[in-house]
Structures are given as structure tokens and as C-alpha cells.
């Protein structure tokens, strides 16, 4: 398994969070089709139960693959998750929380990003066993200063909403 510490410092710490929200999206950053949302209110509407449920199902694909094919390594999931949550909580999530509060955004914005970051780090931790997928595509969007904020259509076809 891969260390999450170096990945966190090399990738997540360097993100300029929200820097390009509302600006044109570089469509080469992900394999998914995009729908650009026009503002925070529309982004907040997209961060709903359906979006959360879709992301949970995608994450479940990772945990199922680990459970079926790499059971011994999968036993480390909870330990790694605790490490990841602590690292994020003491680091980038502070800045994200501040931004959400300062801009009077819905708590769903923070919770959605927190979930994504935890799962990005978990995908990285197990990337030598299971190829990273959807969440690494979300990482590319965050690295461009945008925020993924929903899905239009039925997964896996459809389009990713991005602000």
C-alpha cells in the first residue's frame, strides 16, 4: 500500500481551493463530460442526496474490490481512514471550512469536499492494488481550482457538474 502522507503534501496541500470557481473549465482535466454550473447556489443544489449516494456507490466499488481480492490489505482500511481524517482535519479542511463559513455556503459543500478528499486519499493508499478511478478525476478538478458539485444522468453515463 502507498503512504498517504507524501501524497497529501505533494498534491492536496498545494491546491488553491476555489480559485477558479465561476471561471471557464479546462475540459482536458478529466475523462468525464462536464456541465459548468453558474454560481454557488447552483453548486449547492447539486451537492445533494443523489450526488452523495452516487459517490458512495463508487466508493463501494473500491471497498468491494479490496474485500474480494485483497482481504488482508483491506483490514487496514479503518486504520488508514483514521489517519487520513486526522491529517485532513488538522490541515486543508481548516481552510475549506473557513471559506465555507466566510461565504455562508451550505454545510453540504464542506461535507462533500471532505468525503471526496478522504476517498481520494484512500484510492491513493490502495492504488498499487486497485487502479484509481473516479475520485482521482475529482482530484484533477480540485487541482484546477474548481469544485465538483453533482452528476446529471445515470452513472456512469451522464455529466459531471463543476463550479
Region of 154 (left: φ > 0; alpha: ψ -120 to 50; beta: rest) is beta
Residue 161: the pLDDT is 96
* Over residues 20-44, mean pLDDT: 88
Residue 27: the pLDDT is 76
110 part of a folded domain: yes
- Taking Cα atoms as reference points, which of 152, 159, 153, 154 lies closest to residue 137? 159
Residue 28: the pLDDT is 76
% of the chain exceeding 70 in pLDDT: 98
Residue 110: the pLDDT is 98
22 part of a folded domain: no
Between the alpha carbon of residue 5 and those of residues 8, 9, 125, the distances in Å are: 5, 6, 10
* Total tally of structural domains belonging to the chain: 1
Q: Which pTM value belongs to this model?
A: 0.95
30 part of a folded domain: no
The string of pLDDT tens digits covering residues 69-117 is 999 999 999 999 999 999 999 999 999 999 999 999 999 999 999 999 9
Residue 30: the pLDDT is 62
- Is omega for the bond preceding 97 within 30 degrees of 0, making it cis? no
Range of the domain at 60: 4-8+53-162
On the question of pLDDT at 29 being above 80, the answer is no
42 part of a folded domain: no
Average pLDDT, the chain: 95
Region of 150 (left: φ > 0; alpha: ψ -120 to 50; beta: rest) is left
106 part of a folded domain: yes
43 part of a folded domain: no
88 part of a folded domain: yes
Amino acid at each position: 500500500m502507498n503512504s498517504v502522507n507524501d501524497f497529501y503534501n505533494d498534491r492536496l496541500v498545494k491546491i488553491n481551493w476555489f480559485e477558479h470557481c465561476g471561471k471557464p473549465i479546462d475540459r482536458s482535466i478529466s475523462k468525464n463530460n462536464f456541465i459548468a454550473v453558474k454560481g454557488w447556489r447552483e453548486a449547492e443544489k447539486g451537492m445533494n442526496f443523489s450526488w452523495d449516494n452516487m459517490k458512495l456507490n463508487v466508493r463501494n466499488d473500491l471497498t468491494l474490490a479490496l474485500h474480494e481480492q485483497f482481504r488482508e490489505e483491506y483490514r487496514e482500511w479503518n486504520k488508514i481512514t483514521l489517519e487520513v481524517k486526522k491529517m485532513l482535519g488538522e490541515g486543508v479542511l481548516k481552510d475549506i471550512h473557513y471559506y465555507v463559513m466566510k461565504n455562508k455556503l451550505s454545510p453540504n459543500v464542506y461535507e462533500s469536499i471532505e468525503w471526496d478528499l478522504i476517498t481520494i486519499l484512500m484510492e491513493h493508499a490502495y492504488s498499487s492494488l486497485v487502479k484509481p478511478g473516479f475520485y482521482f478525476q475529482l482530484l484533477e478538478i480540485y487541482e484546477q481550482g474548481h469544485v465538483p458539485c453533482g452528476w446529471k444522468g445515470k452513472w456512469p453515463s451522464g455529466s459531471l457538474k463543476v463550479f
